[in-house]
Structure 1
Amino acid sequence: MTVADVARKEFADAVRSRALWVATVIFLGMIALTQAIVVTVVEDPDPKLAARFLEGPATEIVLPMLGLLLGYQAIVGERESGNLRFLLGLPHSRRDVILGKFLGRTAVLSVAILGGFLTAVGLIVATVGVPPLVPIAAYVLFVLLSAAAIVAIAIAISAIVDTRTRAISVAVGGFLLATVLWSYVIDGIHYVVTREFPGADPPTWLAVVDHLNPLTVLGTSADVLLPEASQIAITVTEDGASATQAEQTPSGATDALVHEPAFLAAVLVLWTVVPLAVGYLRFRSADLS
């Protein structure tokens, strides 16, 4: 059995256990809901605005949660059930198990992501017109890279710890750190170095440190790759609330290092390779008895 064999088995198991369908429905539902709100609430939205809203809760919150849930028990779950020793009894190495499970579960999440974005683009075309497809395709590629990084982190956690309880604790802690606490970490680092909190224009080195968080990279990739979007002006009157597009505003991309697609892609690749390597080194010498 090879890496490809393990990956195919993981994907087939996900289909049989409905993990693929659940992940697809959740991601598709969130991204479709966002687009539905845009086209129904905003008066005469244009395709660029709708494309900008491809970035939202589905990619910023749902995607990391799905990636961690799909990967956190990939190895430790097999270890606790005793199936891992049977799996390793077949003619392949622990490296095959690590890489195969990573590829299989990344494929599961990738199918969910592609299904969600294809649905969202279909809604945009059907309601407001054809959006700029090349920027959207580039952004989807970055979302897929982010998904691979998140699954790699979850697989590494699953390979390092020895119980499901520890795996879910580490995964939840990492999620909270990356989503809720990260801004406080960045402020604290700046204060330690400069003895003051960052202002409105933080230094370049701090922006680089901020982008060590793969979710920050995911958010910045939307600013860099998706088209410029109009602001939404909300007006409240006696007759109710209405939303219209206001003046055009830049997407936020600049010439800074953290807005270079090559830099953003490199960070995501590192977050894929390094956790898998660390997880494999720990798993290689782990006593499974």
Structure 2
Amino acid sequence: MRYLIFSLMLAAAAHAITCTEGLMLYDKTIYSFFFNEDGAILDSTYISSLDGIFQSEKFVREEDRILVAYSSNEEGSLQSDTNLYFYLINDINSPADSSIAFSKSVIGDTTFIDAITDEPDGVDDPHISRQKIKLFKNGLIKDSFEEEPGDTTEDYLELTLKNDTLFRLSLQSVDGAPMDTVNYHFYVADKDDDHLCHDFYRVNFCFGEDGCLGPNNTVVHNGDILQSYEHTIKETASGFVIEVFDSGIWMYQFFMRYTDGHTTSIAKRPAARMKQPSRDYYFDTKGRKQFKAIPYRVQF
């Protein structure tokens, strides 16, 4: 028994992680289409609502594909299924339906990925896009190019961890227009608890001369910095759990597992009833409201 307790203490010490470090690992996994294996990867997600509805997803990685095991009670009864998430094709010259065709190279501690992604069947507005991803110790840079009939979009994402703050900047160009800020967030570790992060964002969706209506019926202007969600990290023997709160109300969980052979089980349903999370949106450079799920089946 003493040996077991000592071993668990050693494991916890070896994987000690702060909130900003955990969020960086999560974002790197999401935005690199699960290619990142630098420390921890996403194992499962869990979302619950005040009226008792829940959704959970567990990602199953096989040699040449990723599956998602899905459970919910949205239709009034428990439903579960396992579907294809993506095929993985290690040849960027041979893309196929519902696949990520990629090439990967490593120079020092930096990983370079070129990928052509084709969203699986069943996703709204399926599309093919070209990705260039650069993964490094404390962040990620990603360029994405997508072409649809009559519309081309280029997205740029920069993720950087500096000291106790994680910065995430998203830019977008539509139909060749200059790059414009779509989303700018930074996550700051609490000064008294490095397992707690405060999420701040810069307003860039306000087009009225006199400002527009923000949180709690306040008037906000482009460039204002507002506080959003709070994130906490809870460490486990096999990884850690990221929990997201809005004004103190639990919203959803992301279960991460370390890439050293440990596994985690899909999230258990909390006993408490929770608030229904709202889906995030942003405006593009033409002022159109846009919705996204990143990755394609994980809701934010």
Structure 2 length as normaliser, TM-score?
0.21
Q: Indicate the structure with greater helix content.
A: 1
**Larger strand proportion, structure 1 or 2?**
2
Quick one: higher RCO (CA 8 Å, sep 6+), 1 or 2?
A: 1
Which has more radius of gyration?
Answer: 1
Superposition TM-score, scaled by structure 1 size: 0.22
